[in-house]
Structure 1
Amino acid sequence: MNVEVSPSTIEAVVQRQLEAYNNKDIDAFMENWADDALYFEHPATLLASGAPAIRERHLIRFKEPDLFGKLVSRIVLNNKVVDTEIVSRTFPEGPGHIDAVCIYELADNKIKRAWFIMGKPVLHEKQ
């Protein structure tokens, strides 16, 4: 069942998952993903297939103390949302950030497919 939903509803789903990501709340995060969701490095490298694999991937990520996705811009077009973000991370070399473009495709008020384009990590200077 692929029900048409309003752009504001589509945007709300993506916003809820971003807020849950920033709160490191895995259950709230996963509420926004379809059971059979696909998670790609753009354009076609499959990183996780299905909600259990996406959950496992993020349980590891949520252990990072500096993790935070700062929304820079968002475009909603049909059933897709494109976010640009600056993501603070704890890399093996230390804390830093990375630019990201996140493309979400929604169906039935859930994220069905997502593609991520990542920049190069920028390490923060030690103080």
Structure 2
Amino acid sequence: MTANATLSPADAVQGQLEAYNAQDLDAFCAFYADDAELGAYGGETHTRGLAAIRERHAKLFADFPQNHARLLHRAVVGAHVVDHEHVTRAPGGEVFEVCAIYSFAGGKIARVDFVK
């Protein structure tokens, strides 16, 4: 799935999840707005702008080449998508669950808040 402004929020989140699991950095970043932000739910923004998101995920993909997120549940409310995911960094490695709350603007992901 490729990013475009006509995708529904759920389809955009699914596309970025597929790109994340494929470690396709260009496809992954295509779903994000230029001024997108990542942060902790109810907390500080830790990554601002597409360039910083690209840098963060390039490092993550290099450090964890077998990283994989499995969708456990998805809820869609208007222009917000909430994913509950099970993440495995590597076989036998770190495993955790995360809730990612996606907000949209202009058909792109504008902010993701993480609960971990």
Q: TM-score, normalised by structure 2?
A: 0.89
Q: Is the 8 A contact 1:39 1:115 kept in 2?
A: yes
**C-alpha root-mean-square deviation of aligned residues, in Å?**
1.7
SS of equivalent residue, structure 2 residue 73: strand
Residues 4-61 of structure 1, C-alpha deviation per residue, up to 9 Å, x if partnerless?
A: x99x711000000000000000000000000000110112221100000011000011
Question: Which SS does the other structure have where 1:52 is aligned?
Answer: helix
Q: Is 1:18 matched up with 2:17?
A: yes
Between structure 1 and structure 2, the one with the greater Rg is 1
Tell me the percent identity.
Answer: 38
3-state SS of the aligned residue for 2:10? Answer: helix
Q: Which of the pair is proportionally richer in strand?
A: 1
The aligned residue for residue 98 of structure 1 is 96
How many Å apart are 1:66 and its aligned residue? 2.6
Give the TM-score, by structure 1 length: 0.81
Deviation of residue 82 (structure 1)? 0.2
Assess if the C-alpha contact under 8 Å between 1:74 and 1:81 holds in 2: yes
Task: Tell me the secondary structure at the aligned position of residue 95 of structure 1.
Answer: coil
Runs of 5+ in structure 1 lacking a partner? 119-127
Counterpart CA distance in 1 for 2:44 and 2:95 is: 22
> How far apart are the structure 2 equivalents of 1:59 and 1:103?
21
SS at match of 1:12: helix
Instruction: Describe the superposition over 1:84-103 as per-residue Cα deviations: whole angstroms up to 9, x where unpaired.
Output: 0001114xxx6121100000
